[in-house]
Amino acid sequence: MIRVRFLGTAAARPTVGRNVSAIAVQREGESILWDCGEGTQRQIMRFGTGFSFSHIFITHCHADHFLGLPGLLRTMGLQGREERMHIFGPVGTGATLGAAVGLGVERLAFPVHIKSLKPGERVNFDGWAVRAFRTDHGVAALGYALVEDARLGRFDVDAVRRLGIPEGPLYGKLHRGEAIELAGRVILPDDVVGPPRPGRRVVYTGDTRPSGDTSRAAMGADLLIHEATFGTEEGKRARETRHSTAAEAARVAAEAEAKRLVLTHVSARYADAPKVLERQARDIFPASRVAHDGLEIELGYHD
């Protein structure tokens, strides 16, 4: 199961009901954090996601996306953390992230490693990866895609039984792609195993104008998380500030043939009336919704 928990969904500054950007993603016992706006450590406690993640991916160095790092790391230190923390950001942001890490947390008992990523680079985990892609925000900025490895094809038990293969280790060999020999016959994996099945894909844009890079990264995504700072009536301001409207985000989702779209990074002017953005997005891409702090989305395998 992949679980996506929205810890902060506001643009630029907190509101009464929304904190600034942060998203916790959990997959099969591993956790990562996308962005870390101020107050993220409190949101983690409020929504019970835990502090077990060891990788933080910052989309860009505007304050509402990274200034939560000092408080979060300090909290982890006070909890007795010893494991290394890995922090990633776009090329050119290392000094800023390093300064944030050192702000008030000089006595950390665990190491912090900061690394810059270029578009197309990957951070690999067991069976999945986080891949960086280029976004369009007028500063050094990245989006991130959680991409699973392809899964083994579906095992055809009826075909195995028709071939007289006894249950046991031979099943495992065939499913892993190994040929077996039984009673003088060679049985190939293709005889009983279907084609590889694609893994799941979750894409987060950070702050950006609509872009072809995002559409390509989100192609066929199970979930696209796209910023929607403004409504259609503020299209000019969205262009000037290198942000997106809800309708523009919906067009990206439609172009990418994503399965679901969740809008975040909501301007304070819509904080109490997000349905305006939701309606504008659904007119173009019906499987749209606006995130709120604490929203959790679970993604199982679609087949």
pLDDT tens string 226-243: 999 999 999 999 999 999
Q: What is the pLDDT of residue 104?
A: 65
What residues pair up with 6 in beta bridges, in sequence order? 23
pLDDT tens string 130-167: 999 999 999 999 999 999 999 878 877 888 788 888 88
Q: Which residue has the higher pLDDT, 226 or 196?
A: 226
**Mean pLDDT across 274-298:** 97
pLDDT band at 303 (very low <50, low <70, confident <90, very high): low
Residue 182 has pLDDT above 90, yes or no: no
Q: What is the pLDDT of residue 250?
A: 98
Q: What is the pLDDT of residue 121?
A: 98
pLDDT tens string 1-57: 999 999 999 999 999 999 999 999 999 889 999 999 999 999 999 999 999 999 999
**Mean pLDDT across 166-192:** 81
242-269: burial string, b at 16+ Cβ within 10 Å, e else: bbbbbbbbbbbbbbbebbbbbbbbbbee
Q: What is the mean pLDDT of the chain?
A: 94
Least confident of 66-70, 183-187, 198-202, 243-247: 183-187
- In the residue annotation, 190 being an active-site residue is answered as no
pLDDT band at 106 (very low <50, low <70, confident <90, very high): low
Catalytic residue among 64, 213, 222, 293: 64
pLDDT band at 205 (very low <50, low <70, confident <90, very high): very high
Q: Which residue has the higher pLDDT, 295 or 108?
A: 295
Q: Which residue has the higher pLDDT, 271 or 109?
A: 109
CA separation for the pair 124, 218 (Å, rounded): 18
**Mean pLDDT across 269-288:** 94
Q: Write the CA distances from 23 to 53, 158, 164, 229, 303, integer angstroms.
A: 12, 43, 50, 16, 26
Q: Which residue has the higher pLDDT, 160 or 98?
A: 98
Q: What is the pLDDT of residue 249?
A: 98
**Reported pTM:** 0.91
Q: What is the pLDDT of residue 105?
A: 65
183-194: burial string, b at 16+ Cβ within 10 Å, e else: eeeebebebbbe
